[in-house]
Structure 1
Amino acid sequence: MKRTLRTTLLTTGALIAAFGLPAGQAAAEPSPRIDLRVLVVSDGGPATDAIAAELDTAGTPYTEIDLTRSDRPVIDAGYLADTVNGQDRAKFQAVVLPNDNPFPENSPEMAALVAYETAFDIPQVDAYTYARPEAGLQYPVHGGYSGSVDGVQAQVTDAGRAGPFGYLDGPVPFEDNSPTVGESYAFLSTPMAGADFTPYVQAPIPGTAAQGSLVGEYRHDGRRELVVTFVYNQYQQQFRLLARGIVEWMTGGVHLGSSRNYFAVHVDDVFAGDDRWNSTLNCTPGDVDCTDPDATPDPIRMTPDDVDHAVAWQRERGFTFDLAYNGAGSVDHREDNNGADPLADRFVAERAEFRWINHTYTHAYLGCEQDTTVVPWRCATNADGSTKWVSRSDVADEIAHNTVWGRSAGLPLDNDELVTGEHSGLRVLPQQSDDNPNLALALTDTGITWLASDNSREPGQRQVGPATTVPRYPMNIFYNAGRAAEQVDEYNWIYTSRAQGGSGICEDNPATTTCLPAPLDTATGYPQHIVPLERQIALGHVLGNDPKPHFIHQSNLAEDRIAYPVLDGVLDTYDTLFAQNTPLVNLRMKDIGNELKRRASWRTAVADGQVAAYRIGDTVTIESPAGVDVPATMPEGTTRAGSAFGDAYAGERSGWTPAATPLTLTLPQSAASSTAVGGGGSAPATDPAPGARVPEGVAEPVSPAGS
């Protein structure tokens, strides 16, 4: 070991000289240029992949080197740094490694990284490493622990909350979704005596009163490492909670890209009634596939009391629903009830409490004309075999008529937003492989620029004539259920095998659904299985910097009001996890569409090499193409032309800025730090992290059956 260490020291000293910076002292003025780009060195494991996914979602540029590829670039002094106009340049502001040293013994690549990090004060993230002295920690055998941490409640330390994890309230619960699958594995240990090691996230060491580090900062030999000793994938809640802080630590809070925690809920079919699931027939009377001659529709429709409950709930939770309405639902109800519609009257009286979206007048199907003489239905055809499409005038009338009805009722509308019934007009496989060609024309006629789509069919945004789609997540709370028992009965039909009395859909489509091990109890299945699962899925979207809205139906706010336990579960869990400086962001549909659209333009510009950003001292300079807005995250106190930059969120300033060439930001004095730390101290031991294992459940997300 001593001979290895000496070799690395000599190599490091020589490399520091190669970078043009004198060993043993800080870099001379002027300050070097630090490019705002992260180097991710991957071994194909889930931990480095998760960090790369976080950077990608936020829009933070990074370069990835795959150690498993024979044609990968070699990491040396020239790869890491050079000079621009005579000024020293560090090409990467941070380095992410699979562990504290993934290279072979006496590796010149590790020596180059050590020298680079030392010379330019570049932080290193050890994405998942074994607890050992080379990482500032005791071996776990010395009073620590190695093993499963499924279901463990970790905690952010005071230092973590005062530092990069200040957006969290404290608890960091580890998932335990399956009793039969190992989902998490960790090495819990305490810092080495005399080591400059600060734990940021800890968990109890089993059988002791001590806390072991899961995430901590190790300072040594002029270098800084974030040492992570648990394994994770990009979908697990524990990583999603800590991802923001990992990026903040590695970048010092100065980076391109930004992120928020978003949650929006659309309620479809307001004013209309949704046909009820029939537990005897195992279908929904009124639907085209419920052909039993005894099938009689039994609509579910909200009441004025349900409106009052929704208003009170919103005020208590500080949350706003987006109501997608069908005006004909109220008109038809008045015709059948001597002109009375107490539901619509109450909604109109409380209209300012909600956001409203045009959902077409009658909820008509706006794609091909449906031939319902067969099950499943098919598109009707003309004599020449071509598809019969709903006409341009009929589509436009559905949109315009509903707008006029909403305006006459005083609803506060944005005329450019639209949700078609069943997302119709857009392609629907297998029956309708193309959009209705008349849809785009009708959208032009009616001024629609934002069109809802179903994320389960089309997760990406696209153009439909003048409109850009906004994909929505369908929540697995069924439109045809107003009572919990109905929801569970239909859930059992979908998610149990034929032998268990179900439809067998789960057997026929194993790639997309999972059979329940046994049918859920209709009395307990909803609160004990469906609610926790749907809460988990929705919260995963919230924690993933994903602004896409979720959608339910007005029936779910009626009768048993089955949507509220799921929504309360999301909001209550969020409140226990995040500090007040990190509120949920609740956007309306068009703002969500704009967010997604700007992200797409930014990603394209970054991928095409059209973005350049760097820091010199306390000045950040960003260059981007004309017309492409810039997302950036900076410390509190950052200014642009003397004014505060961005918006406050999670203890930082962030947001989108209209393109300007160049965009110049001034960092606060508190963010200014030496850009180089002298010394060529010892490098980590060159053997890969021993014993680091990846449990089965980290390869892909684990959730209970029936997801």
Structure 2
Amino acid sequence: MKRSIRTTLCTAGALLASLCLPVSTAHADDPVRIDLRVLVVSDGGPAVDAIAAELETAGTPYTEVDLQQAGRPVIDAAFLADTVDGVPRARYQAVVLPNDNPFPAGSAEMTALADYERTYDIPQVDAYTYARPEAGLQYPVFGGYSGSMDGVEAQVTAAGASGPFAYLDGAVPFEDNSPDVGESYAFLSNPVAGADFTTYVDAPIPGRATRGSLVGEYRHDGRRELVVTFVYNQYQQQFRLLARGIVEWMTDGVHLGASRNYFAVHVDDVFAADDRWNSELNCTPGDVDCTDSSVQPDPIRMTAADVDHATAWQDAKQFTLDLAYNGAGSVDHREDNNGEDALADRLIAKRNEFRWINHTYTHAFLGCVQDTTVVPWRCETTPGGDTVWLSRNDISDEIATNRVWGDVAGLPLEDDELVTGEHSGLKVLPQQPQDNPNLAPALGDNAVGWLASDNSRDPQLRQVGPALTVARYPMNVFYNAGRAAEQVDEYNWIYTSRAQGGSGICEDNPETTTCLPAPLDLSTGYGDYIVPLETRIALGHVIANDPKPHFIHQSNLAEDRIAYPVLDGVLDTYAGLFADSAPVVNLRMKDIGLEQQRRAAWRSAVAAGQVSAYRTGDTVTVQAPAGLAVTATMPAGTQNGTAAFGTPYAGQVSGWATGTAGDLTLDVPGAAAPAAAPESGSSPEPSGTAPDVPVPAGVTRQVPYSPES
């Protein structure tokens, strides 16, 4: 089946755009090539930037034309289409505009775009537009609404749930992170009488018993537009929930790049103990920066009952934790307890219910040799001023001894994964601005291929000897807190002003985003403030196609088990927003690293112009450097030769594949096939320029996270 150049016959009562079939012209059997690349026309606004960021993250090629840039290319027929080997070519599979018409009245560029879209059946996304008849909607003054959407819960309609937003359960909550900052704005309206318009997402119109469209498809003059009447930026939850559907709508579900929702949680220091925060000293005895020798460390360590709780929780959530272990913690405990270690016995008995990562034997600091006679510590130096580094042998012993201990215990390990204690060995600013030069050879000695780093200080995938770093997000659930009140006390110390008894970090660094106006209540602050905040932050990573893992510590699974409310918040909120077809993807560390490695290689090749792809009839052809893993999203049933392509996710299939000699050919199911040859002819004049629309401050800049919503 080939998609022809068409005249649309869908009626106003049509439920789904996907059911609106084209009428073939006399040239319906002639082939057309549609390049798998998106044209993004930008006015510098946050909505277009958000869609571009979604394409960038997924690895979907796009060309951006900035309307504000002098010397930009002119969008005309030659820019949009040409002929390759005698076959007509549409150079873009979709068009993203700032609104339904960002050009001056009578613009030849808008006329060229409209002709192009009509001729090749190319969808257009109006990233944020005013509700008006030119976009298929009534003006808001006629029973609609224009204003803030902060804290409003929108909803996917029946058409949206059967169409581009089928991966959502229904609710689309709008953020309200600050009562002092406007964070959203929308026009709510209903279709113009007789318009062929299908609403996909709507919201209640204030003061009325009716609802208005926020996202809908307008079919007119042989063209299709996705009309979005609310403004957003790339970080806001409401956009993140709808981003996948916007991309799938405009690409007809056939595009390079892929998007999934990832969540992995590493639990550090398992078998060891973590020293407790001291609310009198405002530091942690046992830590190198807590120097009062009269106060002894107070360790927090999991119990066998905590293991049982963890396994029951995993079973209930269908989620697996990654345990980063230190074998010396158990050895030391047995020495101090007549050979007994109920925690280790229980963990080893249930070892196959978790994933395990080598965290070094004693949790030693693997960077420079630390001089702890000063606060903060510094690196020891030779008389000549050179840094004194922990040796290659010492680093290697920490890795190898822990691996042997784990093997003897029967832990199901992947030997090429490593998390060093405190991510040490890697650079630590300001004291150690470079990696320990002995780290890389020690990693080679132990065949380590994946090395954890701290995303807050070392976020980029990079090579360290034979290993690639896997950046992990630190959760603000502190390693030195086993009880909620301890967590709140330390949180207050860090994030309040000196006048309020705090550290003053927010006064010294105004960019800190978790500052408090006043100390939290010790009994309620954790559940009322910290849990919602940390849930929101972590969930933001999950729904942003970000595979990086998060990390906490074994202390957070002990005593008050303070990690679980945050983890429950993430997983339960996710389950309430997404359909079963789009589950959380829970990968182990090396698989996350491989995903990031492939993405980095893919983006580099795309940026260098080494990747091209096009669709002709039922066939997608990808041309890429030999050996490069290709990422794509396709309809279910797509074939890669004799094998099925990809794995199911969100109603489609996606994945990585490598073609022969750099070329990859995918056969798309005929029911989803596009294009045939163009017909010539004039077209109606596009509508006039869309009016300016409000963009509140909370969209032009990201509002710091807070728990209110």
The bucket for the TM-score relative to the shorter chain is over 0.9
> Do 1:515 and 1:706's aligned partners in 2 also have CA atoms closer than 8 Å?
no
Q: Map of 1:187-206 to 2, 5 A cutoff?
A: 187-206=187-206
What CA deviation, in whole Å up to 9, does each residue of 1:437-495 have, x standing for no partner? 10001001111111000000111100000000000000000000000000000000000
CA distance in 1, matches of 2:678, 2:82: 18
Q: SS at the partner of 1:64?
A: strand
Corresponding residue for 2:306? 306
Corresponding residue for 1:550? 550
| CA apart distance, 1:683 | 4.1
| CA apart distance, 1:556 | 0.2
CA distance in 1, matches of 2:704, 2:566: 16
Q: CA RMSD in A?
A: 1.5
| CA apart distance, 1:642 | 3.3
What CA deviation, in whole Å up to 9, does each residue of 1:395-428 have, x standing for no partner? 0000000000000111000111000000000010
Corresponding residue for 1:566? 566
Corresponding residue for 1:182? 182
1:422 paired with 2:419, answer no
Q: SS at the partner of 1:506?
A: helix
Q: Map of 1:515-526 to 2, 5 A cutoff?
A: 515-526=515-526
Corresponding residue for 2:39? 39
What CA deviation, in whole Å up to 9, does each residue of 1:207-241 have, x standing for no partner? 11111000000000000000000000000000000
CA distance in 1, matches of 2:254, 2:329: 52
One-letter code aligned to 1:65:
V
> Do 1:370 and 1:377's aligned partners in 2 also have CA atoms closer than 8 Å?
yes
CA distance in 2, matches of 1:462, 1:550: 18
Specify every segment of 5 or more residues in structure 2 that has no aligned partner in the other structure, as ranges: 1-22
One-letter code aligned to 2:471:
P
> Do 1:514 and 1:706's aligned partners in 2 also have CA atoms closer than 8 Å?
no
Q: SS at the partner of 1:374?
A: coil
Corresponding residue for 2:684? 682
| Matched residues, number | 684
CA distance in 2, matches of 1:115, 1:26: 18
Corresponding residue for 2:701? 700
Gap change, CA 1:706 and 1:580, over 3 Å in 2: closer
> Do 2:177 and 2:706's aligned partners in 1 also have CA atoms closer than 8 Å?
no
Q: Map of 1:465-480 to 2, 5 A cutoff?
A: 465-480=465-480
| CA apart distance, 1:393 | 0.4
CA distance in 2, matches of 1:81, 1:27: 17
Q: SS at the partner of 2:648?
A: strand
| CA apart distance, 1:639 | 1.4
| CA apart distance, 1:685 | 2.2
> Do 1:121 and 1:677's aligned partners in 2 also have CA atoms closer than 8 Å?
no
Corresponding residue for 1:630? 630
CA distance in 2, matches of 1:289, 1:435: 21
| CA apart distance, 1:677 | 8.0
Q: Map of 1:611-626 to 2, 5 A cutoff?
A: 611-626=611-626
Q: SS at the partner of 1:83?
A: strand
CA distance in 2, matches of 1:642, 1:149: 49
One-letter code aligned to 1:685:
S
| CA apart distance, 1:700 | 2.3
Q: SS at the partner of 1:604?
A: helix
Gap change, CA 1:412 and 1:514, over 3 Å in 2: closer
CA distance in 1, matches of 2:314, 2:506: 36
Gap change, CA 1:300 and 1:628, over 3 Å in 2: same
One-letter code aligned to 2:687:
A
| CA apart distance, 1:28 | 4.6
Q: SS at the partner of 2:216?
A: strand
> Do 2:514 and 2:704's aligned partners in 1 also have CA atoms closer than 8 Å?
no
Corresponding residue for 2:365? 365
CA distance in 2, matches of 1:579, 1:553: 31
What CA deviation, in whole Å up to 9, does each residue of 1:6-64 have, x standing for no partner? xxxxxxxxxxxxxxxxx994655322100000000000000000000000000000000
| CA apart distance, 1:259 | 1.1
One-letter code aligned to 2:382:
N
> Do 1:121 and 1:676's aligned partners in 2 also have CA atoms closer than 8 Å?
no
One-letter code aligned to 2:663:
P
What CA deviation, in whole Å up to 9, does each residue of 1:529-587 have, x standing for no partner? 10001000000000000000000000000000000000000000000111111111000
Q: Map of 1:229-628 to 2, 5 A cutoff?
A: 229-628=229-628
Corresponding residue for 1:3? none
Same amino acid, percent of matched pairs: 74
| CA apart distance, 1:110 | 0.5
CA distance in 2, matches of 1:27, 1:237: 45
Corresponding residue for 1:6? none
One-letter code aligned to 2:223:
R
> Do 2:450 and 2:467's aligned partners in 1 also have CA atoms closer than 8 Å?
yes
One-letter code aligned to 1:296:
Q
Corresponding residue for 2:666? 665
Q: SS at the partner of 1:452?
A: strand
Q: SS at the partner of 1:477?
A: coil
CA distance in 1, matches of 2:85, 2:707: 60
Corresponding residue for 1:652? 652
| CA apart distance, 1:669 | 1.9
Q: SS at the partner of 1:437?
A: coil
CA distance in 1, matches of 2:501, 2:187: 45
CA distance in 2, matches of 1:176, 1:335: 53
Corresponding residue for 2:13? none
